[in-house]
Chains A and B, each alone.
Chain A
Amino acid sequence: MTLREKFFPVLTIVLILIAIWYVAAVYLNAPFERDTVARAGTTITFSEIVPKTMFQARPVLPAPHQVIAEIWDTTFNKPITSKRSLVYHAWITLSATLVGFGIGTVLGILLAIGIVHNRAMDRSLMPWVIASQTIPILAIAPMIIVVLNAIGIAGLLPKALISTYLSFFPIVVGVVKGLRSPEQIQLDLMHTYYASSAQTFWKLRWPASMPYLFTSLKVAIAISLVGAIVGELPTGAVAGLGARLLAGSYYGQTVQIWSALFMAAALAAVLVIIVGIAHTAVLKRMGVKP
């Protein structure tokens, strides 16, 4: 599998998607141009419509270059402290994501250790951990915000808690699987060494769970970002990517919505890649041959 073999098909599909996007943009934005002309009482040919659909102020579907221009403008041409800067909003969302992800990881690992070492916890907690994920978190999001505001906690922490709630689940499931992954024969060896359960944990179970842990971390960090963005919706937040989405949808600023969406996508991609790099680094330190 050379790089070219991998890269070429993906590039082709991406180009096809961009082409479809342009066609769709023309198709969806044309009615507006026709209406404008009809109101003015003149006629317009199709070839005149096409260039106009590419540069509308409030298109139904912005053309790709409009979105890219908007992202470029709000990322590099605005000071980072400005409310109009996308970097500023992305940072607010990212900080909540990372705090929530951190808490979720610690909580998830602790719960998993409890579940593996205590049968009553295993039997009683695990079904509820699964059930907890069927509660639409968004339903709780506005509540958490309102409740915490009443106690006087506002800003970053409520959003982070929503991220925590979403991210602890894949980590619990993954780490439980990982801690139980050692073979019986390995556990028996520890037993013959007369190892305590703490020693078995640190020398066998914990190292064995690493691949599972990192796979879960990738899922968890992506889902943390979703949690932080969603946490910004019901709060009527004034800052963050979620707030940009909401504001854009209130005022019909489609270009703003799309650019916030792409920024979120880029953030998710970067976060997952960072976790992936950490994964390979840890496995390398542990002496795993790639």
Chain B
Amino acid sequence: MTSGFLYGAIAFWLTAWAINEWLVRVKTKDRTAQQAIRIAVPLLFGISILVLWEGIVRGFNVPSVLLPPPSMIWTRLINSLPTLWADFRQTFLKSVITGYVMGCGLGFLVAIAIDRSPFLQKGLLPLGNFVSALPVVGVAPIMVMWFGFDWQSKVAVVVMMTFFPMLVNTISGLAAASQMEKDLMHTYAASWFQTLVKLRLPAAWPFIFNALKINSTLALIGAIVAEFFGTPIVGMGFRISTEVGRMNVDMVWAEIAVAAVAGSAFYGIVALVERAVTFWHPSVRGGQTS
């Protein structure tokens, strides 16, 4: 009986693959149909992965402590919504959002401030690039010592992690406007501030949004890691580390699912705002968001 699950799953996966192969070859002029195909293909792939997972786990009788099947994770997710919501609120709404806004805002403001000083730029840019390559996550224990166990310390870690990408990208973005355009502003007798608002910031949006997208995933990772170093008794990182210890692997996976959905949604929202703001950029006009 168990091998039936396995063969069924493999059959489903191969069928899904065949359908995808056929779908990407469909030529249609209809815009809605194109849109539907673009969404259907990855969706079908995702579903087939889940079915394959379920089939393999049941087919080989993998103990659920090692790898619970998706159906079991789903049941646990539905049954423990209040807990998951409390964790989500603590980690995401308090730590991630606050830290993200503060870190990105600070990086942006510092970039504007040192924009008028080439000396500071030359000094800070290599350092900023260097810090981007460092394991900033390592400051988490220090921040927990300084700011206590609650969400304030997580915010501090997220600010540390998001500040430098924003700084570096904003500085390179502000340099993106060409000399010709700056000369035009100069002939209009535009002040530095007017040039900034009307020309250089709009030209910098693609760079700034690049940093915002990178930071959206960094912020979540930073907050969860910081929770490994000490938390009150709520939060995604806390829940994951304790439930692993108690062998409730399905709960851990439910928490991971929530984190993944939250992270993807956060990234998606930033990407949508980007499309709206930088509608003039070639990468958007081509209908491709990179």
Instruction: Give A contacts to B, CB under 8 Å.
Output: 5-6, 9-14, 60, 119-120, 122-128, 131, 133-140, 142-143, 146-147, 150-151, 218, 222, 225-226, 229-230, 233-234, 241, 245-246, 248-249, 252, 254, 257-258, 260-261, 264-265, 268-269, 272
Contact = CB atoms under 8 A, between A and B. Distances in A.
A143 B24 CA distance: 36
A46 B169 CA distance: 42
A66 to B, nearest CB: 14
Nearest to B46: A128
A128 B135 contact: no
A10 B240 CA distance: 41
Nearest to A125: B45
B144 A249 contact: yes
B126 A10 contact: yes
B36 interface: no
5 contacts: A123-B42, A136-B259, A139-B240, A143-B249, A225-B135
Given A10-B123, A137-B221, A139-B255, A269 B229 contact: no
A147 B46 CA distance: 23
Query: Which applies to chain B's interface (DSSP): helix, strand, loop or mixed?
Result: helix
B137 A13 contact: no
A226 B236 contact: no
A265 B123 contact: no
Interface in B26-40: 38
Interface string B134-154: 110111111011100000000
Contacts of B225: 138, 230, 233
B42 A254 contact: no
B260 interface: yes
Contact of A124 (B42, B65, B259, B266): B42
Given A10-B126, A120-B17, A245-B141, A134 B217 contact: yes
B67 interface: yes
A261 B252 contact: no
B127 A135 contact: no
Contact of A147 (B49, B66, B217, B237): B66
B145 A138 contact: no
B130 interface: yes
Nearest to B138: A261
B207 interface: no
A67 to B, nearest CB: 12
Contact of B221 (A5, A6, A120, A138): A138
Contacts of A261: 135, 138-139, 142
A139 to B, nearest CB: 5
A6 B65 contact: no
B244 A234 contact: yes
B133 A222 contact: yes
A240 to B, nearest CB: 12
B45 A136 contact: no
Contacts of B259: 135-136, 139
B221 A13 contact: no
Contacts of A131: 260, 264
Nearest to A151: B66
Given A123-B20, A135-B259, A138-B224, A10 B135 contact: no
A139 B236 contact: yes
A264 B135 contact: yes
B220 interface: yes
B25 to A, nearest CB: 7
A175 to B, nearest CB: 15
B21 interface: yes
Contacts of A252: 145
B122 interface: yes
Given A134-B263, A233-B225, A257-B142, A9 B241 contact: no
Contact of A139 (B49, B137, B256): B256
